[in-house]
Structure 1
Amino acid sequence: MTTQGLRARKKQQTKEQISHRATELFLERGFDKVTIADVAAAADVAKMTVTNYFPRKEDLALDLGPVYIGQLAAVVRERAPGESALAALRGAYLTAVEAQDPVIGFSGRPFAVMITDSPALVARLREFHELREVALAEVLAEVTGAAPGDITPRVAAAQLAGVQRVLFEEILRRLLAGESGDEVAAALSAYARTAFGALEPGLGSYAVR
């Protein structure tokens, strides 16, 4: 492995260590009661190192944020020939439910409690939902060749991302109620088919590759 490769690996290990230690502290004490200094001490790094990797404290807890924001856009961009945006997103979502993927909300009850107990995390999560919708709208405009003033990609993105936001919130609600991951997955599989099916009349043939 090259020196550059070793350096990149070391940086990734440091980032993961910081994130892991931060999550442990947040789950133990609550997000709002933990400081950056606490995280730095637990990870055995300087405070500046923590903020270099995670400029916002909220992103220490929601470290999958960048993946979450870009997820829908990536699915649409990589959809199969002949597949619509709706079909691609529905298929990817059902696969994620089966895998109980943390990116779509399967984080476990302690993590769900940590998020909902912190106004700062709730606000940051709301930003993620909004950024996700914007990213999806941009890709839909690109893949459909929409004119600059065409509102259709934004309307489609609002519906497609909105369904997933509702499902995300339903996962949190069920986890907080004490349901197991398997119970939540069984319910969400049915809910997802209903939710995406409701969009079929308007978006079933939209953005077909």
Structure 2
Amino acid sequence: MTGTARAEGLRERKKRQTRQRIADIATGLFLERGFEAVTIAEVAEAAEVSVNTVYNYFPAKEDLFFDRQEEKVQHLSRVIEAREAGESAARAVLRDLRTSLEEKTADGLRPEFRRFVQVIRESAALTARVTLMHELICHAVYDTLREETGAGPDDPLPRLIANQLSWVSSVVQNSVIRLVAAGRDPDDVAREALGRLDLLEAMLGELTLNYAVKNTP
């Protein structure tokens, strides 16, 4: 049993490494030449794997570019789940967004992300995928809020709150991407995005801001 478990672990690790290598090579090609100019066949050749192998790991070409999509989609949900005692879901999301801007850890504020943003804006397919990701984030937050509050399927609040929180996040992220793509300095982008976040917080009602407060132990 131990040998089998060890073998399965090694196989999974090898699969993860292969997946990451293909994604890294594809990203390099996309950043160099643009998303539309690179084919799956070229990625496979550069990674020294078959086209079928690429598709086994990445069913769509956009998945190669957004290889961390699932992590991004689940991020707000994990922030909500890990909120502090006495903190609401909205306060946790706002805190996380503010920290990422103040510490410049948001994707768009990292120096290497500038070309990444440019490639997205040049591709209709990638722009559409970003929109889809925002929708997936909203669905994930909705599921988390329902679970955290025990709300029934007919309760409209989890979905309405999820729509608001995912909207706030997308507005901030899209603002950062737009300003970075325009060539603005990261420090200026962070300051402007923080100001935008303050306005967004002021627009949220008390019901949203005080929804799903985590019980104290």
> TM-score with structure 1 length normalisation?
0.92
Pairing partner for 2:156 from 143, 148, 151 = 151
Q: What is the Cα-based RMSD across aligned positions, in Å?
A: 1.8
1:183 aligns with 188
Alpha carbons of 1:2 and 1:181: their partners in 2 closer, same or farther (altered >3 Å)? farther
User: C-alpha separation between the residues in 2 aligned to 1:183 and 1:39?
Assistant: 36
Question: How many pairs align?
Answer: 208
What is the CA distance between 1:122 and its match in structure 2?
0.9
- Once residues 163 and 11 of structure 1 are traced to their aligned partners in structure 2, the CA distance between those partners, rounded to angstroms, is 36
Quote the Cα distance in structure 2 between the aligned partners of 1:187 and 1:100.
15
The equivalent of 1:86 in structure 2 is: 90
Residues 100 and 185 in structure 1, CA contact (< 8 A), matched pair in contact too? no
Shift of 1:200: 4.8
Query: Which stretch shows the higher mean deviation, 5-14 or 180-189?
Result: 180-189
Residue pair 2:109, 2:186 contacting (<8 A) in 1 also: no
Report the equivalent of 2:177.
172
Match of 1:22 among 21, 26, 35: 26
The equivalent position to 1:57 in structure 2, one of 61, 79, 83, is: 61
Equivalent residue for 2:142, pick from 120, 137, 140: 137
8 Å Cα contact 2:86/2:213 also seen in 1: yes
Shift of 1:22: 0.6
Match of 2:73 in 1: 69
Question: How far apart, in 2, do the equivalents of 1:183 and 1:10 lie?
Answer: 42
DSSP-derived class of the 1:100 partner: coil
| Greater C-alpha Rg | 2
Q: Which runs of 5+ in 1 are unaligned?
A: none
User: What is aligned with 2:201?
Assistant: 196
| Alignment of 1:10 onto 2:14 | yes
Tell me the TM-score normalised to structure 2 length: 0.89
Once the two structures are TM-superposed, the CA of residue 65 in structure 1 deviates from its matched residue by: 1.1
Map 1:101-112; keep pairs closer than 5 Å: 101-102=106-107, 106=110, 108-112=113-117
Q: Alignment partner of 2:64: what SS?
A: helix
Moved more, 36-45 or 194-203: 194-203
For residue 31 of structure 1, report the CA deviation from its aligned partner.
0.6
